[in-house]
Structure 1
């Protein structure tokens, strides 16, 4: 078994977290009282180093797709590369496709780091993920630093995958809904209609959903009645958006806290706080924390 598939386990009490740093700086499993709270990385995918099979990976130096694999910023056109064949466009940046280094670890904590130097793509950055486990929660603090020579637009987020149990429900508050255009590209926001609103909690939609919810309150609650557990996500205000991906033909779904609106890099409204793009000068950093808190469902 190669180093790429090695697990790093941390935990406290009934809450157990396994990391696979060399597979995109990812989480392999999140378990509470022996119950999986995220989709568990299979042994086959772990041995193969398949990042698309993990429980959660980081999105950096931006979240979601860049249409046309290019964006305009500071009077220059910046090119990125397609990175998820057969998709046409770059998705979720580069962090999830690199091995991360373990730069600190203990029984209840671990820090993973990644340094990228601009080459075929324009970004130079250092990213860290600090994982801390208590008996009540898994806390993940992401920090992103521009190590390049010029100011650039950045964003980041977390991409957890959850098992799509037949009775799962999702609950969160948001202010708007970004339409989806061809090839997974995010369009403009619309006022959130009742049939797309999850404020009261509801089952996953029966049809396709791959949309950014803007003006997110920073909290989301997932309930898995068949497992007898739920999971609350609570994110710092820097995470203004929650991406919901749900394909009824797949046994999983995703609810992804992210700082930038999907499609923001193509719209180019860099100063719009609702777009959530973070412009970092050389040496500047941004950080935010997401907590994952399991709880028992009442029987």
Structure 2
């Protein structure tokens, strides 16, 4: 395709989406009517290649953390490596730690791809992200293929970052809340208590939150009154979980659609639909689409 400039900007109507394939196959900005609806990648972070400064990155071949960097599957113990120092455990898999290739690009569409061969980590996979921008919003279709020689458990998701405006609110429906254990590991789920429920819409928690919401309906709405705009997230049914990260000391927060429950690989309930793990045989694929749709407040 020749040299693709970065950021690669997709446009349709009032929506602009910047992609930074070399920084983890990430989104660098999402703007609607000139309004940033995700945390924008700064020039310094862009120059440094800092994936933790992007607007959104992919989580593949699983989402969230694996306790002890190991799990038992098919009568074998599989080990992964720490990948996010100073954390001592693997976080969000390997996809966000690699440069992605631009497989195709046009004014309003682009497909990024990544091929990983097993090495110190046990996963061989091919991943694609197909971005489509329209006047309605951004659609991201994630596809994950097992290119290894044996069946393996997989998962995937998107990790967007949002500016924590003082008046931001969040609304979504779920049925379970996963407790947090040391090192950010997700523990067992409990029934969703009223004080943890966002079904009616509410401000972000005043205290620390780093928790998976299970039984997610696949829809969430963020409102930014100071910006006069909001963002609706709508995900395919394969995305059974929504992770909420909100640290009141940070100027950002994260609302992350994902297929597998956080911590699911350590619990080992491979056939439990609530855990959302996708076991792929060699050559098998799984896919799902997340749509992010801006709107004017009052619309």
Match of 1:154 in 2: 154
Match of 2:78 in 1: 78
Over aligned residue pairs, what C-alpha RMSD do you find? 1.1
Please give the secondary structure, in 1, of the residue aligned with 2:27.
Answer: strand
The CA deviation string for residues 8-46 of structure 1, in whole angstroms up to 9 with x for no partner, is: 011101000000000000000000000000000000000
Please give the secondary structure, in 1, of the residue aligned with 2:213.
Answer: strand
Please give the secondary structure, in 2, of the residue aligned with 1:187.
Answer: strand
Match of 2:170 in 1: 170
Match of 1:210 in 2: 210
Aligned runs of 1:180-219 on 2, under 5 Å?
180-219=180-219
Please give the secondary structure, in 2, of the residue aligned with 1:72.
Answer: strand
Please give the secondary structure, in 2, of the residue aligned with 1:270.
Answer: coil
Distance in 1 of aligned mates of 2:78 and 2:170: 37
For the 8 Å contact 1:63–1:93, the answer to whether it is kept is: yes
Distance in 2 of aligned mates of 1:156 and 1:217: 17
The CA deviation string for residues 209-243 of structure 1, in whole angstroms up to 9 with x for no partner, is: 00000000000000000000000000000000000
For the 8 Å contact 2:153–2:277, the answer to whether it is kept is: yes
Q: Deviation of residue 161 (structure 1)?
A: 0.1
Residues 14 and 246 of structure 1: is their aligned pair in 2 closer, same or farther, counting only changes over 3 Å? same
Q: Deviation of residue 123 (structure 1)?
A: 0.1
Query: 1:110 aligned to 2:128?
Result: no
Q: Once superposed, which parts of structure 1, at least 4 consecutive aligned residues long, lie more than 6 Å away?
A: none
Match of 1:293 in 2: 293
Q: Deviation of residue 88 (structure 1)?
A: 1.3
Aligned runs of 1:180-259 on 2, under 5 Å?
180-259=180-259
For the 8 Å contact 1:19–1:28, the answer to whether it is kept is: yes
For the 8 Å contact 2:4–2:102, the answer to whether it is kept is: no
Q: Deviation of residue 261 (structure 1)?
A: 0.1
The CA deviation string for residues 73-96 of structure 1, in whole angstroms up to 9 with x for no partner, is: 000000000011111110000000
Extract unaligned runs of 5+ from structure 1.
none
Distance in 2 of aligned mates of 1:125 and 1:219: 28
Match of 2:269 in 1: 269
- Residues 253-262 or 4-13, more deviating: 4-13
The CA deviation string for residues 143-199 of structure 1, in whole angstroms up to 9 with x for no partner, is: 000000000000000000000000000000001000000000000000000000000
Q: Deviation of residue 5 (structure 1)?
A: 8.7
Extract unaligned runs of 5+ from structure 2.
none
* Count of aligned pairs: 297
For the 8 Å contact 2:213–2:241, the answer to whether it is kept is: yes
Distance in 2 of aligned mates of 1:11 and 1:287: 24
Distance in 1 of aligned mates of 2:7 and 2:29: 10
For the 8 Å contact 1:111–1:129, the answer to whether it is kept is: yes
